[in-house]
Amino acid sequence: MSIRVVVADDQALFRQTLALLIGSEDDMEVVAEAADGEQAFQAALEHRPDVVLMDIRMPGTSGVEATAMIADHPDLSDVHVLILTTFEVDEHVAQAIRAGASGFIGKGIRAEDLLDAVRTVAGGNSLLSPIATSALISRFLSTPSRADSTSGIFGQLTPRELEVVTLVALGMSNDEIAAELVISAVTAKTHVNRAMTKLDVRDRAQLVVLAYQCGVVIPGRSVD
């Protein structure tokens, strides 16, 4: 089954180029194009795509606003937003991740990397650009809201689930978590999925945001 994509960008030539690139792949199809956030939201409602490739800065309804509209709509829970931005270290990017985006990539990315990013997000995984993730978290997401990170919503997690969430927030993949904890990758994935269900987050990107906001992980501090 093809990955169904909506391409949203206010620059027509760039948008059409992206659509041609994505549409040339055997495992992808572009179901709609949008010139602003409102059009992107309406296209998501009409076509129920797997991924909306969303420019963050558009006239009228911005990419951030459209991301929030998609994430908040009960019928669009399976739609993943991948933010496309010129400036990877940008407060708008942090806002989009908080609003529900599954990740972001820079417009300077190579064509093959962009296609891989779409596949990654369509598969339900988060994608935070390695160029900007550290700075993004340090500048915008590090706002601990409670002194005891194991209280409140994180008190729902088992000690192992909390440990796994911490490693996810440090940027580890399921395979890396498995190696660190001497468990199987399948078990690591199960712990991640259970934690996401308990914390009511859409994907790993939202899990990372929540972990930093609640002080489970502090930027610049490693886990012993």
CATH number for the domain including 43?
A: 3.40.50.2300
For residues 125 and 22, membership in a common domain is answered with: yes
Is residue 128 very low, low, confident or very high in pLDDT (cuts 50, 70, 90)?
low
Residue 138 reports pLDDT greater than 60: no
Exposed/middle/buried for residue 72 (C-beta within 10 Å: 0-12, 13-18, 19+)? exposed
For 70-100, write each residue's pLDDT tens digit. Answer: 999 999 989 999 998 876 555 677 778 778 8
> Which of 138, 170, 198 is where one domain is finished?
138
Q: What is the arithmetic mean of pLDDT over 176-189?
A: 92
Compute the distance between CA of residue 140 and CA of residue 58 in angstroms, rounded to an integer.
21
| Residue 134: predicted pLDDT | 52
The residue type of 12 is A
**pTM of the predicted model as reported, rounded to 2 decimal places:** 0.70
Largest CA distance in the chain: 51
| Residue 143: predicted pLDDT | 53
For residues 131 and 151, membership in a common domain is answered with: no
For residues 103 and 163, membership in a common domain is answered with: no
Domain count, the chain: 2
Residue 150 reports pLDDT greater than 50: no
- Please answer whether residues 44 and 79 qualify as being in contact, where contact means their C-beta atoms are separated by less than 8 angstroms: yes
Closest-CA residue to 81 (of 174, 8, 187, 28): 8
- Please answer whether residues 33 and 54 qualify as being in contact, where contact means their C-beta atoms are separated by less than 8 angstroms: no
| Residue 88: predicted pLDDT | 56
At residue 223's C-alpha, the angle toward residues 166 and 120, to 5°, is 40
| Residue 149: predicted pLDDT | 47
Whole-number average pLDDT of the chain: 83
| Residue 89: predicted pLDDT | 53
Note whether residue 55 is domain-resident: yes
Structure tokens of 2? 């093809």
Backbone angles phi, psi at 215, to 5 degrees: 80, 15
